[in-house]
Amino acid sequence: MRRQGAVPDGSPGGRIRELLSRGLLLVCAVGFAALAFEVGVRLFLPVSDFFWQWDPVVGVKLIPGKHGRSVKRGVFDTAIQVNSHGYRDREHAYQRPADTTRIVLLGDSFVEALQVPFAQSITALLEGQLRASGVNAELINLGVSGYGTALEYLTFREYGMAYDPALAVLFFVGNDVSDNSSRLKGLPYVPYPMLDGNGSLARDGSGRPRFTAFADQASHLSSATGFLRDHSKSYRLIREAVEGSAGLHGLLYRLRLVSTPPEPMRAGPGFGMYEIYRVDETRAWAEAWSLTEDLVLELREATRAACVRLGVVIVPAAWEVYDEQWQGMLARAPAMREAHLDVEKPSRRLAAFLASHGIPHVKLLPDFRARARQLPPLYLPPMGTGQRRAIASPPIC
């Protein structure tokens, strides 16, 4: 016997309750699956935390105070701590301690060194060697992944001088040349140096280099993805997969579902960042080299004005040191084998430029090649399938 006032199963109210019940079950199932996926990723597929944020001065810096892990599965898993100034280093007060020689290190991921414990980074190792030799040195790491000479110049000018250093050391890596060019990179959240009508650095009213306008990029889902990016390992795994596919990444960017555009160098014509080895360089690369050399001179002027000495370390890529890696890349990209390339060109060209302008420098390529005959290896091991796709998806420093 039906209870008085009960709604029959086939009534509109009954159907609504049934739909709500099914919807609740679906939400619970999706939530449980997402939770299980998150737990599984954390236990079996470790991924890196996200360490970078937009900066209104240089475009991007590390997140101040961020703690987390930098992971490349099967290669490294490193605990990372970012200081309150947004750099991968211990804390440094702006006030220089008495009787201390301060040295600021400018560079990209080579200096940032998220792949190794901080005690094994170039910052800590150099400081230890200097102190062992009797120099009361304090080295300050200002390296951030993706930086080129332009952002390293801005970093010294806007942040580095505040530490009152005696010496600034610029670590130059070959992909810095393309990182300095809006034509070759063109990331919307990064400032790029501008050219005047004569092909030289454009300058503002005070004589400083002019940079392009830049801004933080927001997607339609930024409010949600910002939280997931910082707290969800499974979301980071999915983003890694998206960023590894230029086509999918580009589609999601055009739909404004992700805020970071795909790397222009990945999908562009030619050999991507390996165009730097072409003897007969294109107009875009000639322009990028000119900008890079002008920026080095501009950094020298900025250091001179602050009574700071400048030195440059020219860091070779692994395939410049290990011939088998270079030959492997040529084998995977027949067009590169047919082109007129010179693997020593970046180191030789910059060293000649620095020598002609009296800038102290160290060219590591000869020493690294001599050292490469010994063990252990000087670079991280190849990244499996990612390494095989290096021509289409070059490593970002």
Measured distance CA(48)–CA(36) in Å, rounded:
19
CB 164 within 8 A of CB 303: no
Measured distance CA(94)–CA(162) in Å, rounded:
6
User: What pLDDT, on a 0 to 100 scale, did the predictor assign at position 226?
Assistant: 66
Query: Amino acid identity, residue 153?
Result: Y
CB 383 within 8 A of CB 75: yes
Lowest mean per-residue pLDDT among 5-9, 35-39, 234-238, 242-246: 5-9
Question: Residue 240 carries which DSSP code?
Answer: H
Lowest mean per-residue pLDDT among 2-11, 142-151, 307-316: 2-11
Angle at which helices 246-254 and 233-243 cross, to 10°? 110
Q: 250-299: per-residue pLDDT in tens?
A: 676 676 666 666 665 433 456 888 899 999 999 999 999 999 999 999 99
Mean per-residue pLDDT, 314-333: 92
Has residue 387 got a pLDDT over 50? no
Q: What is the reported pTM?
A: 0.83
Question: How far is C-alpha 176 from the geometric centre of its chain's CA atoms?
Answer: 11
CATH T-level assignment (fold) for domain 103-217+261-388: Rossmann fold (3.40.50)
Tokens of 254: 């055009």
Lowest mean per-residue pLDDT among 33-47, 64-78, 119-133, 321-335: 33-47
CB 121 within 8 A of CB 113: yes
User: What pLDDT, on a 0 to 100 scale, did the predictor assign at position 46?
Assistant: 82
Percent of the chain scored above 70 by pLDDT?
82
Has residue 93 got a pLDDT over 90? yes
CB 233 within 8 A of CB 47: yes
For the chain, give every domain's residue range. 103-217+261-388
> Which stretch, 47-56, 80-89, 223-232, 240-249, has highest mean pLDDT?
80-89
Cross-strand bridge partners of residue 69: 79
Has residue 130 got a pLDDT over 80? yes
Residue 313 — left, alpha, or beta (φ > 0 → left; ψ -120 to 50 → alpha)?
Answer: beta
- Closest residue by Cα to residue 302 from 108, 95, 149: 149
Cβ atoms within 10 Å of 231's Cβ, excluding its own? 12
Mean per-residue pLDDT, 131-138: 96
- Closest residue by Cα to residue 49 from 74, 77, 75: 77
User: What pLDDT, on a 0 to 100 scale, did the predictor assign at position 51?
Assistant: 93
Query: CA separation (Å) from 283 to 175, 243, 345?
Result: 17, 29, 17
Mean per-residue pLDDT, 130-158: 97
Percent of the chain scored above 90 by pLDDT?
58
What is the length of the chain? Answer: 397
What sign results for the dihedral spanned by CA atoms 260, 236, 180, 56?
positive
User: What pLDDT, on a 0 to 100 scale, did the predictor assign at position 360?
Assistant: 98
Lowest mean per-residue pLDDT among 19-23, 74-78, 139-143, 184-188: 19-23
Mean per-residue pLDDT, 100-126: 96
User: What pLDDT, on a 0 to 100 scale, did the predictor assign at position 241?
Assistant: 72
The residue with greater pLDDT, 80 or 225, is: 80
Lowest mean per-residue pLDDT among 8-12, 78-82, 324-328: 8-12
Mean per-residue pLDDT, 114-131: 96
Q: Exposed (0-12), middle (13-18) or buried (19+): which is 47, by Cβ within 10 Å?
A: buried
Has residue 331 got a pLDDT over 70? yes
- Closest residue by Cα to residue 354 from 287, 296, 301: 296
- Closest residue by Cα to residue 108 from 172, 187, 59: 172
The residue with greater pLDDT, 334 or 137, is: 137
CB 311 within 8 A of CB 360: yes
Cross-strand bridge partners of residue 101: 137
Q: Where are the beta strands (DSSP E) in the chain?
A: 52-55, 59-62, 67-72, 76-81, 101-106, 137-141, 167-173, 309-315, 361-363
Question: What are φ and ψ of residue 337, in 5° steps?
Answer: -65, -35
